Amino acid sequence: MNGYLFAPMFIAITTIALVFSSCKKDNHPLPPSKASVYSADVLDKWMTLQIRLMKNATGIANQAFSRHHAYAGVAAYEALRPGLLVNDNLDNKWNGLTGLPQSAHWNNYYLPANVNAALAAINRSFFNNAKADDIAAIDSLENALKQEFLTKADAAKISNSETYGKAVATAVFNWAETDGYKNANAPYTPSTEPGKWKPTPPAVASTPYWGNNRTIIIGSINNTTVPGLPAYSTDPASPFYKMVKQVYDASQTLTDDQKAMALFWRDVPGVTTPGHWVSIVQQVIKSKNAKLDKAVLAYALTGIAINDVFIRSFQIKYQVLTVRPNTYIREVMGHSSWNSFIGTPPHPEYISNHASISVAGAAVLEELFGKNQSFTDHTYDFMGMAPRNYSSYMAIGLEAGISRLYAGIHYQPSIDDGTALGKKVVANILSKNN
């Protein structure tokens, strides 16, 4: 990575405060900050549609939507690059991305139109099997925004933006197609070793080779060794037994708030877990009235972090093969009719995905928008769930993690280690030295 990643961009975007009275039209040059004079409206509209597309998609594993978020974020960021304050060689930042178009001077583009074209193209590619009305919605939004932009800039600039944005999306999508996801569900034979994970009904292991996917950022999952759980044992005096018993005991005394928490972070049915984080980032961008440059950065980096953490988490899951609570509680502890509060996912228990990816998303938001920022999550208002309030962005991630213990599907050490993993991956991404 030539010694740095996004750190110069964070400095440029988050510490340079330039105030401009208005964005000029047509032949008037933009101020030095370029992309920062625009609202994030174009991104906001595409995030809303992407959440809808995730919610309506079928036949895609929950964690796989992390790719849709991450690569769309990369496309939006690269489409906006001519208007950003820092112009580094992307080949030194991304993990193998090639074929990006050569950009012209920023003044040749209407920058929101760059983002519009890129997000339309890459969502169309990722959701090519969407329902007809969802595909039509992609076309409709792209055209509506184009018509709006034609009232703000001349046709030549809009055309340049469309050409550039689409070329960026093509390069990013072609890159995404080689990341290994197509082999994630290759034939897999579960272990028959005593104490190892058994697939839960319908008894099919979910994406056992997801951990082989290529990360988006070189070095993002370096030095992420995890402690692991106590040695497997059926002895009631053993640390392993006591760890499982904590889950069982919690299930017997769940409060209304703990149940609401577990359901709020279930995400399926819902908008998927990556979709939930798209929603959170969208709400934060709105609440902070972030401009287009910072909004795109927040969208891209949260997606990248979540994508890369998922890869490492699945590596660990299928290496360690820890038995899920429902299997142990029924077969070892003798509570044969016990069920987890929400459905148990069809992959091994250790390490907690929700803890690791949610803490990663929260860590990015803290880096960009600051610590101790209160937040109310309205993602599931449409399902009749009460919004949930948080004292900080990290509190969001921590609640997502502990919700899985109340849900009956994770052990506390798996949540704790997932929390540490999420923080470490983000630290790697933001590091100047990885």
Q: What pLDDT is attached to residue 200? A: 79
Segment 325-371, tens digit of pLDDT:
999 999 999 999 999 999 999 999 999 999 999 999 999 999 999 99
Residue 29 pLDDT grade (very low, low, confident, very high; cuts 50, 70, 90): very low
279, part of any domain: yes
The parent domain of residue 58 ranges over 23-181
Do 177 and 198 belong together in one domain? no
Q: Is residue 9 pLDDT above 90, yes or no?
A: no
Residue 322 lies in a domain: yes
Convert the pLDDT of each residue in 43-78 to its tens digit.
999 999 999 999 999 999 999 999 999 999 999 999
Can you give the pLDDT at residue 86? Answer: 60
272 and 401 together in one domain: yes
Question: Which residue has 């109340």 as its token pair?
Answer: 406
Asked if residue 164 is part of any domain, the answer here is yes
Residue 410 belongs to domain with CATH number: 1.10.606.20
Stated pTM of the model: 0.92
d(CA 97, CA 347): 30
Is 230 found in the same domain as 168?
no
pLDDT tens, residue by residue, 128-142: 999 999 999 999 999
- Is position 298 within any domain? yes
Of 5-9, 222-226, 375-379, minimum mean pLDDT range: 5-9
Closest CA to 71 of 223, 175, 149, 192: 175
In what helix (H) or strand (E) does residue 195 lie, and over which residues does it extend? none
Nearest to 175 by CA among 95, 121, 114: 95
- The per-residue pLDDT for 202 is 74
Yes or no: say if 121 and 330 are a contact pair by the CB < 8 Å rule: no
Q: From CA 99, how far away is CA 429, in angstroms rounded?
A: 23
**Structural domain includes residue 13:** no
Supply the pLDDT for residue 399.
98
Residues 153 and 196 both lie in one domain: no
pLDDT digits (tens, 9 = 90+) for 277-310: 999 999 999 999 999 999 999 999 999 999 999 9
Residue bearing tokens 């059926």: 234
| pLDDT single digits (tens) 173-214 | 999 999 999 999 999 999 999 999 998 777 789 999 999 999
